[in-house]
Amino acid sequence: MNEMADDRFIEERINGVIYLMARPNRKHLRIQYNLCKVFNDYFEAQDKDCEAVFEDEIRINKDDKIVPDVLVYCYDCFNEDDKDDLPLIVIEVLSKSTRKKDLTVKMKKYAELGVKEYWVINYKELIMDIYVLENEQYNWTITCGIEDEGDETGGEDGNKDILPEFSPVLFPDMTVKATDIFRFAKKKK
């Protein structure tokens, strides 16, 4: 690929398979920014040696790499086994072109790597599904989002209660509000 084309795509290589992804649209970027802001404001207020960044590359091995939408790193007590370069939380914002891969290939790879929490955000539905790593696989724990009036269920399978806020398992004194993450977003009808 030439240099000009490289700027238009994000390249991932998982298990030897190359995936080219278009750069995120403005709504996708806003969600990434809002997530990083919520985490980084919390980290600063709590004086934690942590940070949230977006589109940072995780090197799996010399050939494979993966580029999550948002990564949360902590450089203090959370990292056992000298995994300083491994994020504690990875967040993917679903898009039409990456949805299947985010919910299958990447989810499996993050579990294999030992990423503690995996969040999947559907900005068209204004919901976040939160998964926690247990016994080397992710288990759904909560759906957070903005509901339509009278709508009482949501999530990927339509059976989950949607909560307006929650606390990440790794940061139980932190509150993540759906309204902070989905600022500027409107639900597609």
- CA atoms within 13 Å, Cβ hemisphere of 142: 13
Pairing of the two strands 117-122 and 70-74: unpaired
Range 161-178 average pLDDT = 96
Domain boundaries, the chain: 24-181
DSSP letter (8 states) at residue 152: -
Above 70 in pLDDT, residue 174?
yes
20-70 tens-digit pLDDT: 888 888 899 999 999 999 999 999 999 999 999 998 999 888 889 999 999
Q: Round to whole Å and give the CA distance between 174 and 188.
A: 29
pLDDT of residue 187: 60
128-154 tens-digit pLDDT: 999 999 999 999 999 999 986 555 444
Q: How confident is the model at residue 186 (pLDDT cuts 50, 70, 90)?
A: low
Above 60 in pLDDT, residue 175?
yes
pLDDT of residue 85: 76
pLDDT of residue 153: 47
**Which three-class secondary structure string do you get for 46-60?**
HCCCEEEEECCCEEC
Q: How confident is the model at residue 4 (pLDDT cuts 50, 70, 90)?
A: very low
Whose tokens are 């995994």? That residue is 83
Range 169-175 average pLDDT = 96
pLDDT of residue 155: 44
pLDDT of residue 90: 97
DSSP string computed for 70-124: EEEEE-STT--TT-TTS-SEEEEE--TTTHHHHHTHHHHHHHHHT-SEEEEEETT
Classify domain 24-181 by CATH number.
3.90.1570.10
Whose tokens are 């919390």? That residue is 42
pLDDT of residue 159: 57
3-class SS of residue 30: helix
pLDDT of residue 1: 42
88-128 tens-digit pLDDT: 999 999 988 889 999 999 999 999 999 999 999 999 999 99
